[in-house]
Amino acid sequence: MTSINLSYDSLLAELEGGIVQLEDPRQSSNASRYSVRDTVLGAFGCFFMQSASFLAYQRHLDSRNGRNNAQSLFGLKQIPGVDQIRNVLDQIAASGLFGVFISLYQALQQQGYLRGFETLGGNLLVALDGTDYYSSLKIGCPCCSTKTSRSGQVTYSHKAILPVIVSPAQSAVISLPPAVITPQDGHAKQDCEQAAAKRWIASATEIFKGQAITLLGDDLFSRQPMCEDVLTNEFNFIFVCLPESHPALYDWIGFQTAHGKVKTMKRKQRKGKTDEIWQYRYLNDVPLRAEAPVLSVNWCELTVMRASDGKVLYLNSWVTNHLLTPARVIEVAAAGRCRWKTENENHNVLKTKGYHLEHNFGHGKQHLSAFLLTLNLLAFLFHTILHLVDERYQQIRQIRGTRKGFFQDILALTNYLWFESWTALLDFMLDETKPAKPIGCDSS
């Protein structure tokens, strides 16, 4: 693999490399004024700039000055309209761009940026969590999942698993290729989160060659078929395991507790002005279910209590294939707890911090919704990487203070001023004394 320096230009070049591999779905006899490259980059530019109106502003800028930032920042030769973008992208499978996620993950790994994410003896934690990214009682498409209420009301939705690399020590999450939950050819049953997760796990073995991976998941994942599937694909797991869904396992835990076999350890920790008691309980070699054949797993529980009155502040439990020791159970519980970051730092950011994940950007009839989701995730990944590796980007984000303010600034600047490159835009933002160069002036 050729090394990527992870600059903005290199990230965009990786995306362009993925676009080159996409086949133009249109017949050669059809009018093809806008290339696949321009339609994909145009849509990506809107997500990257967090503005559905970005291309419209650039058309206006170009009409006045003969230059535009869609061209200089994203490499468009012509600016397509929304309808053209939707018509073209609806015919292209989103999986054609999954390789871009993989290339960028591998570059981050090779250049050492993921070392701070490792735990459990060199494992990376990958959280698998499904989410709706569109829901409607009125508008659906052939790729929608459907749910019918008792009254006969049908809800149409788009769902996907959005895997991310997480770490107890890091606030950032690293996006990986999604697993779209959508009707599958040859399957009578509706697609579901577990089936999509199994497809993703099978495909992920090629992504993580040579890297130890521990998968994180909620209680839906802590079933024997899923755990066996994870182990077959040579991954580790830490899955939430609740008493109401695993009666046989908790009967065993109760029996072993009564006989003094379940190990307990406590630690006192200070949080703000409050003392907390963190109690860990764990047991190795626990039957996951009653029916044979039975997979043996290791179980642990974390209870966080306020020291002053014993009030329970947090309680959760997990099953894992990691052997539990007094030191390792603390790491496993910390890893299990950080699964929430897929909600707070991934789903929540995508839904409420400008990426508008739940907005209906277009259904289409084939691939449009999944393709736009993929571009949105790539835009999020680009910004995450730039925040990790680009000092100027970090400085501007720190100066601006909020994510919303940063995007408001870059959008306002690019709506009215032309910048010859992403570097020129950052330089301008860092140098408040530098006057903007009139659009019509040559660089000389």
Let me know: does 38 contact 79? Beta carbons within 8 Å.
Answer: yes
pLDDT of residue 47: 94
pLDDT of residue 123: 98
Q: How many CB atoms lie within 10 A of CB 400?
A: 16
The pLDDT tens digits for 25-71 are 887 655 578 999 999 999 999 999 999 899 999 999 999 989 999 99
Helix, strand, coil % over all residues of the chain, rounded to 5: 45, 20, 35
Q: How far apart are CA 98 and CA 114, in angstroms?
A: 20
From residue 182, give the alpha-carbon distance in Å to each of 125, 192, 306, 316.
Answer: 26, 8, 44, 31
Token representation of residue 358: 């739940």
Chain-centroid distance of CA 194 in Å reads: 17
Domain boundaries of the chain, sorted by first residue: 1-113+360-438
Among 136, 141, 147, residue whose Cα is nearest residue 363: 141
pLDDT of residue 434: 55
Residues of the chain with pLDDT under 50: 1, 433, 438-444
From residue 131, give the alpha-carbon distance in Å to each of 100, 154, 303, 318.
Answer: 22, 18, 27, 21
Token representation of residue 429: 């933002």
pLDDT of residue 31: 55
pLDDT of residue 301: 98
Amino acid at 390: D
Which H/E stretch holds residue 84?
helix 82-89
Let me know: does 222 contact 231? Beta carbons within 8 Å.
Answer: no
